[in-house]
Amino acid sequence: MERISAIVQRPRLFYVPDSSLGTTTLGAPAFTLDGKVLGVFVMRSMKSKSGGGMGMFNFQPDNMTGIIVPPAGAVP
């Protein structure tokens, strides 16, 4: 069971779970306590502030975070 620690509305609605996600949860559906679909667990990459790197090959564990992306048209 996960708790939502933040709701981000811009630039796109997504939820930040309270604990870090493991690789076994990626792509799994997330449900509310009453059984409704909340979204899908995915990894989100963050832009590095260092500015250097090689595009998509510049991913580091510190630049990734687990989030829940709701279905299109969802309202927080």
> Which two structure tokens, joined as six digits, stand for 66?
């687990």
pLDDT bucket at 73, cuts 50 / 70 / 90: confident
- Beta-ladder partners of 41: 68
Q: Say how many CA atoms lie within 13 Å of 59 toward its Cβ.
A: 8
Res 74 pLDDT > 80: no
Q: Number of helices and strands (H, E) in the chain?
A: 0, 5
pLDDT of residue 19: 74
> Which two structure tokens, joined as six digits, stand for 61?
């564990």
Res 2 pLDDT > 80: no
**Of 33, 39, 29, which Cα lies nearest the Cα of 7?**
39
pLDDT in tens, 4-62: 999 999 888 999 988 766 666 889 999 999 999 999 999 888 766 665 555 555 555 56
